[in-house]
Structure 1
Amino acid sequence: MQKSRRQRAKWQRRSARRQKGSRNQKKAYRKVALYARYEANVRWDYAHQTSHRLVASDEADIMVFEDLAISHITRRLKPRKDEHGRWGRNGARAKAGLNRAILSSAWGQVVKFTEYKALRTEKLVILVPPAYSSQTCAVCGHVSPDNRPSQAEFVCLRCGHADNADHNAAVVIAARGVQKLLSGEPLTKPRRKTRIFRSLGPERSEVTPGEISVRRLGPTAPAQRSMSQELPGAIPEPPASTREG
């Protein structure tokens, strides 16, 4: 993927130097799109292979993942001004590199593929909140940022438990998944139901959503209308008391 990115940047520079609208420029654009598609295919293939290995393994029937908000983590930084009103450095270049690394790891695709593949083999996938998982001790449960003396080390200040930081966090995440399973909480998120309301103006304030014309069989099919809607030009029926008289 690193080689593909270098080639993509090279062909982007070449396309910028070629004559605008020419065939050679279009060829360079196709090269750029080809390398971008290659990166997407690599992530897709990696997510499928990783999820298959997790599900096909006989070591565990329950897999626990952190419910990470990837769209929030990879959000672009807002521009920042200094005290004089001039635009200053906000670390956008470093954040862009971090976002690129996160998206290249295919976190979301691995979880998504593992969920539907686990259903085929009657296995369970649980998502747990990721808050303070790297600062929590797997033995006594003490939470403190000082438990991480370095990026790779974890030393609990309360009980003295020492372990690799990633392994300790994995044990904490697994314990949270078991706790969620035993607590009886719903393991899947409910689907959010949305409704669209349109203001039709004061002249049509009594119009109901059932009175909207709908076509589903193409332009030649008659529109489906509500039974309570009056057709244009129709003569209104008299009240029941008038008909009886």
Structure 2
Amino acid sequence: MRAIPDELDPAVVAEIDGRLARLQTDLGVTIPWAIESGSRAWGFPSPDSDYDCRFLYLRRPDDYLSLWPGRDVIETPLDKVFDVNGWDLAKTVRLAVNGNATVGEWLRSPIVYSGDEGFRDRLLAFVASVADRGRIGRHYLHVAARQYEREITLKRFFYVLRTAASLRWLLDHPESAMPPMDLPTLLAESTVSDALRQATADLIAVKARTRELGSGTPPELLVRFVADELERARPFDDLPPENTSGDARERADAYFIGELDRLR
């Protein structure tokens, strides 16, 4: 599976492809899923946005039997253009069980460098089976809190806005714990006003043609939306667990062992 928009720089994409191929050869890992995260996948890139490639990998099955396992992340050199790193599937599964919403987002990124659809579908089904609305909601609340600990520039406001939109989506979809990844889809699938969608689209258009947004003031309509949604989402902190930890861990073990068996 591959989904690369025309606006991505072909030379950069080729370098990312090369890095992924070299990692598999040099480290003896399998990379069944590699996507773009960050502002490009979230729906609000700037002309100078870097490339945030994220991937999931598996080591050789016997490597997981070692008493001294290696690191559960792989990182490549970071610069102004490339931010390419990945998580071991074991780490990914543990994070999903613990309520990390990033795993579900990566599996539905609109930009895919390379991907095994069967792997994606199996992992997505597992994540959905253990996803807990309380934990996912708290994840987004804490992301917003971390952003507010820093100076909120106009550029960083987009991160808080996407978080608020994710929380609104959760409240509008009580049957699900897995919001979409990109901001326009979050708003399109939520009960927000057309005026708010338009204000967001206008701000995205400004960001798309401006190399540095600076510290300007976001539209008041969007500022109020963020404040209101973060306040409305406070009850997520008190939601009781939907899945017992023992049940979720049993599902995690069964899923992970099944994926290792596919490599043998």
Normalising by structure 2, what TM-score?
0.23
Q: Which protein is bigger by CA-based radius of gyration?
A: 1
Normalising by structure 1, what TM-score?
0.25
| Higher share in helix | 2
| Higher share in strand | 2
